């Protein structure tokens, strides 16, 4: 993976790009929303389609010269349709947040009501946080997970919906380690005449591979990002039934965006093709098996896991019981020094701040892409434990960093 053309023009940026390749090769990427796309996806995203303006949709653009842009976007749509079984797919959103924005813009008026999961309980900024446009344009109330079990409280959600009478209920989360029962949320939405938006950003790949139940055909709208577990080009996607297709397409463009990022759409097409191969199902299954192994070993090592474990690609660790003097931020910093990159994360019943929360979130999508199995993930859990037990001991961090380097060498990336 070279950057020769960049180097000729701009050695400073070339150095940074090469530094980043080396960082990804030589450290463990455990941010649950990240992954390592294939070189084919990197090529597609780095292509001359970045030059092309293609406002509109295939066959109906506002500019000439869209023959190849059309071809690429049609392929992305065709493959996404095959992967998810949706009646209508829009592959143009620049991100998962913009996919959500399109649904709100299509179906709601400013001031309408959204019921969504609290950020500290695993929700997302674009589901209604006051700092996001969603929290400012709409009236938002939030549901929570059961404080005892860490699982979604479906009955509480339904009662909350009865009281609040939202126009849309948002499901799908950024830090929720358990399987989501879409039908139960749909029932709550139906009982108050609300739309149901299922945001599968984190689990898009698991849903595509059939290792997590799909909300397609249940929820009115399904949004996602395309570069997390699905490992395709960077951006977002919206899926819906044909009856909402025109509204959603108009809300994406011209409603919320200008020209689509056609190089990213090409990356999506290529990644979706890869996800249609049988190996992708094995990858998704291994990702979940790895997260289970990671979580089990962390629990054996004395950590408290929100909900007690995981059904998907991530674990959420609440450090307050096992390591009351170590915040998620402290843990994140020490782990990064030891070559393990993950993020401090808020937890249900958060008592610190989002800037220095009480938990850490760790995911296995990227480790699995580079070939890690359950044994490797148990080893990683032991390394995490050693660091968090002694976050200030430089010799521990150095020893762990050396073991991380061995694991990386045994599972090479971007050779």
Which residues have a Cβ under 8 Å from the Cβ of 112 and sit 6 or more positions away? 138, 139, 167, 168
Residues touching ligand DSN, count (CB under 6 A) = 4
* Torsional sign, CA 394, 35, 236, 241: negative
Q: How far is the CB of 33 from ligand DSN (least distance, A)?
A: 3
Instruction: With beta carbons less than 8 A apart as the criterion, state whether 407 and 397 touch.
Output: no
Which residues have a Cβ under 8 Å from the Cβ of 411 and sit 6 or more positions away? 367, 370, 371, 372, 376
**Closest CB to ligand DSN among 196 and 202?**
202
Q: How far is the CB of 143 from ligand DSN (least distance, A)?
A: 19
Q: How far is the CB of 358 from ligand DSN (least distance, A)?
A: 17
Adjacent-strand bridge partners of 159: none
**Closest CB to ligand DSN among 56 and 267?**
267
Interface pattern 317-356 for ligand DSN (x via CB under 6 A):
----------------------------------------
Token couple for 324: 């009351």
Q: How far is the CB of 72 from ligand DSN (least distance, A)?
A: 25
**Closest CB to ligand DSN among 79 and 228?**
228
Q: How far is the CB of 365 from ligand DSN (least distance, A)?
A: 11
**Closest CB to ligand DSN among 53 and 133?**
133
Interface pattern 44-83 for ligand DSN (x via CB under 6 A):
----------------------------------------
**Closest CB to ligand DSN among 33 and 369?**
33
**Closest CB to ligand DSN among 126 and 307?**
126
Among 24, 29, 33, 120, binds ligand DSN (CB under 6 A): 33
Adjacent-strand bridge partners of 142: 116
Q: Which phi and psi angles does 22 have, rounded to 5°?
A: -65, -40
By CB under 6 A, the residues from 272 to 301 that bind ligand DSN are none
Q: How far is the CB of 342 from ligand DSN (least distance, A)?
A: 10
Q: How far is the CB of 69 from ligand DSN (least distance, A)?
A: 27
Token couple for 369: 């892409």
Rule CB under 6 A: say whether 223 interacts with ligand DSN: no
By CB under 6 A, the residues from 237 to 266 that bind ligand DSN are none
Instruction: With beta carbons less than 8 A apart as the criterion, state whether 229 and 205 touch.
Output: yes
d(CA 94, CA 255): 13
246, containing H or E segment: helix 245-250
DSSP letter for each residue of 287-336: HHHHHHHHHHHHHHTTPEEGGGS-SSSEEEEEHHHH-TT--HHHHHHHHH
Rg (CA), the chain: 21
Q: How far is the CB of 237 from ligand DSN (least distance, A)?
A: 14
**Closest CB to ligand DSN: residue number:** 33
d(CA 127, CA 140): 9
**Closest CB to ligand DSN among 132 and 174?**
174
Q: How far is the CB of 349 from ligand DSN (least distance, A)?
A: 20
Up-side HSE of residue 380: CA atoms within 13 Å toward CB?
30
Instruction: With beta carbons less than 8 A apart as the criterion, state whether 347 and 306 touch.
Output: yes
Instruction: With beta carbons less than 8 A apart as the criterion, state whether 191 and 163 touch.
Output: no
**Closest CB to ligand DSN among 36 and 124?**
124
Helix (H, G, I), strand (E, B) or coil at 223: strand
User: Cα–Cα–Cα angle for 101, 120, 135, nearest 5°?
Assistant: 35
By CB under 6 A, the residues from 89 to 128 that bind ligand DSN are 96, 124
**Closest CB to ligand DSN among 126 and 379?**
126
CA dist 288 to 292, 361, 409, Å? 6, 15, 23
Adjacent-strand bridge partners of 413: none
**Closest CB to ligand DSN among 33 and 35?**
33
Rule CB under 6 A: say whether 174 interacts with ligand DSN: yes
d(CA 381, CA 295): 8
**Closest CB to ligand DSN among 124 and 320?**
124
Q: How far is the CB of 369 from ligand DSN (least distance, A)?
A: 17
Q: How far is the CB of 210 from ligand DSN (least distance, A)?
A: 22
Residues that bind ligand DSN (CB under 6 A): 33, 96, 124, 174
């Amino acid at each position: 993976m070279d950057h020769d053309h960049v180097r000729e023009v701009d050695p400073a940026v070339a150095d940074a790009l090469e530094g980043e390749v080396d960082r990804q090769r030589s450290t463990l990427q455990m941010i649950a929303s990240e992954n390592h796309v294939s070189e084919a996806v990197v090529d597609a995203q780095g292509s001359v389609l970045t030059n092309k303006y293609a406002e509109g949709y295939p066959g109906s653009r506002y500019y000439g010269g869209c023959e190849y842009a059309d071809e690429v976007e049609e392929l992305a749509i065709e493959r996404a349709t095959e992967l998810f079984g949706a009646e209508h797919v829009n592959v143009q959103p620049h991100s998962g947040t913009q996919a959500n924005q399109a649904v709100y813009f299509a179906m709601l008026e400013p001031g309408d009501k959204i019921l969504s999961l609290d950020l500290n309980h695993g929700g997302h900024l674009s589901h209604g946080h006051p700092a996001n446009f969603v929290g400012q344009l709409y009236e938002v109330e939030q549901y929570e997970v059961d404080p005892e079990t860490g699982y979604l409280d479906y009955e509480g959600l339904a009662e909350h919906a009865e009281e609040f009478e939202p126009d849309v209920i948002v499901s799908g989360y950024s830090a929720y380690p358990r399987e989501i029962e879409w039908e139960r949320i749909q029932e709550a939405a139906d009982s108050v005449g609300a739309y149901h938006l299922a945001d599968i950003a984190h689990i898009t790949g698991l849903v595509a591979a059939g290792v997590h139940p799909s909300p397609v055909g249940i929820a009115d709208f399904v949004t996602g990002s395309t570069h997390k577990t699905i490992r395709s080009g960077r951006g977002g996607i919206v899926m819906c039934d044909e009856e909402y297709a025109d509204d959603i397409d108009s809300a994406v463009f011209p409603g919320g965006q200008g020209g689509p990022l056609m190089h990213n759409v090409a990356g999506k097409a290529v990644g979706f093709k890869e996800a249609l191969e049988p190996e992708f199902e094995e990858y998704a299954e291994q990702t979940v098996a790895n997260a289970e192994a990671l979580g089990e070993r962390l629990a054996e090592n004395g950590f408290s896991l929100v909900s007690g474990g995981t059904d998907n690609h991530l674990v959420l660790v609440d450090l307050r019981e096992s390591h009351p003097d170590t915040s998620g931020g402290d843990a994140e910093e020490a782990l990064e020094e030891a070559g393990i990159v993950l993020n401090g994360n808020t937890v249900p019943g958060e008592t610190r701040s989002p800037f220095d929360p009480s938990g850490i979130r760790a995911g296995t999508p990227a480790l699995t892409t580079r070939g890690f199995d359950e044994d490797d993930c148990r080893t990683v859990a032991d390394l995490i434990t050693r660091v968090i037990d002694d976050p200030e001991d430089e010799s521990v961090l150095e020893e762990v960093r050396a073991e991380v380097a061995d694991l990386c060498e045994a599972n090479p990336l971007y050779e």
